[in-house]
Structure 1
Amino acid sequence: MGKKNKIYRPEEFDEAYEGPSRTQLKKDMRELQQLGIDLAALGDATIKEANLPPEVEEALLLIKKIPKHEATRRHMQYVGKLMRTFDTSHVQEIVEAAKNGHSIKTAGFHRLEIIRERLIDGNDDLLQELFDTYPENGQRLRQLTLGARREKAKGKPPKDSRALFKLLRTLPLDREN
């Protein structure tokens, strides 16, 4: 008995299924699992406010109660499976807003640190501008700035520098100084 050589014709391949590959499906599943992990990391209150289907909400709230790594991994696969059942665009918006909110807050702190350093390094024009802009806090701002300059010159601990930063945080500094 000999082997039959089957001849394939090009028209047989024309109607081949062009759906997502297995690799793409796995990638999508991992993305949904990561989205679930990110949402669970935001806390229980955020999960409850996200208006998720009840079984997804329950599964996300259960994550923190699972002690073992392998059990957590399997549970996250389950969460990814559940998240395939509904539109996750709302969840992505929540996670992105939380990430961007954190970066905005961090950028604000860096900006305040730069302002504080400019004040301590002797930028009297900036000090006068802040004094004129916020007269109710101007005197305290000037005292803390001069105290922080003395601390820096003498190499003392930055007590007034920290107090200056706290005072700057309370001021509505809405433009670049």
Structure 2
Amino acid sequence: MHEEDEFNEDAGDSGPSRSEERREALAVLELAKRLVEQPEARLQQIPMDEDLRDLVRAAQRITAQIAHKRQVQFLAKHLRREEPEALDAIRAALDHDKSDHRREAQALHQVEYWRDRLVAEGDPALTELLDKHPAADRQHLRQLARNAAQEKLKNKPPHAFRELFRELRDLLSDPQ
């Protein structure tokens, strides 16, 4: 009966359940897929040892679908052998890149928003923009907006439209 008690005590703390192990393995497989999608320059910035980096490069070179999938799974197997801290550092580096991309996309959307407003609304939108950015060149922006509106009406190539975009991008990216 003493052995039976020891068996019951061990059953209570047998480690992670099979479902938890599977979720962790799938998370590492997703991490491996994300690593394989990274360009070489970005791969150099991710904190990992050279053996893992070589495995990522090998998976990137393989184009046959099944062989590529098998290589990614092989990479995931090696990633599962890494320390949790190393995996967390890799995830943090990849997530940092994703947040940078979101900020850049948001900034471009802001530029597009102001460009479209300036072309469509004219002076009222320009006044509002200048309230937020008093250092902007009112006359130059007004001229570009008018030229862009004329280009749009006459179905001409969007030279002023693009130039307005560049000017706004420079204005909105300036920290002042």
Query: TM-score per shorter chain, which class?
Result: 0.7 to 0.9
Moved over 3 A (4+): 9-14, 172-175
Partner in structure 2 of residue 118 of structure 1: 117
Q: Distance in 1 between matches of 2:156 and 2:20?
A: 56
Q: Which stretch of structure 1 is more off in the superposition, 59-68 or 10-19?
A: 10-19
Partner in structure 2 of residue 97 of structure 1: 96
Matched, 1:34 2:27: no
Q: Which runs of 5+ in 2 are unaligned?
A: none
Partner in structure 1 of residue 10 of structure 2: 15
Q: From the CA coordinates, give the structure whose radius of gyration is larger.
A: 1
Q: Distance in 2 between matches of 1:110 and 1:158?
A: 22
Partner in structure 1 of residue 136 of structure 2: 134
Matched, 1:151 2:151: yes
SS of residue paired to 1:141? helix
Q: When the two structures are superposed, what TM-score results if normalisation uses the length of structure 1? A: 0.78
Partner in structure 2 of residue 167 of structure 1: 167
Question: In structure 2, do the counterparts of structure 1 residues 66 and 167 end up closer, same or farther at CA, with 3 Å as the change threshold?
Answer: same
What number of residue pairs does the alignment pair up?
164
Q: Distance in 1 between matches of 2:140 and 2:9?
A: 79
Question: In structure 2, do the counterparts of structure 1 residues 40 and 155 end up closer, same or farther at CA, with 3 Å as the change threshold?
Answer: same
Q: Distance in 2 between matches of 1:132 and 1:51?
A: 43
- Cα displacement (A) at 1:46: 2.1
Q: CA RMSD in A?
A: 2.6
Q: When the two structures are superposed, what TM-score results if normalisation uses the length of structure 2? A: 0.79
Partner in structure 2 of residue 108 of structure 1: 107
- Cα displacement (A) at 1:67: 1.9
Q: Which stretch of structure 1 is more off in the superposition, 85-94 or 36-45?
A: 36-45
Q: Distance in 1 between matches of 2:121 and 2:47?
A: 52
Q: Distance in 1 between matches of 2:121 and 2:63?
A: 54
> Residues 144 and 164 of structure 1 are in contact (CA less than 8 Å); yes or no, is this contact kept in structure 2?
yes
Per-residue CA distance 1:79-100 (angstroms, 9 max, x = gap): 1121122321111111101111
> Residues 123 and 142 of structure 2 are in contact (CA less than 8 Å); yes or no, is this contact kept in structure 1?
no
Q: Which runs of 5+ in 1 are unaligned?
A: 1-8
- Cα displacement (A) at 1:57: 1.1
> Residues 47 and 61 of structure 1 are in contact (CA less than 8 Å); yes or no, is this contact kept in structure 2?
no
Q: Distance in 2 between matches of 1:68 and 1:24?
A: 31
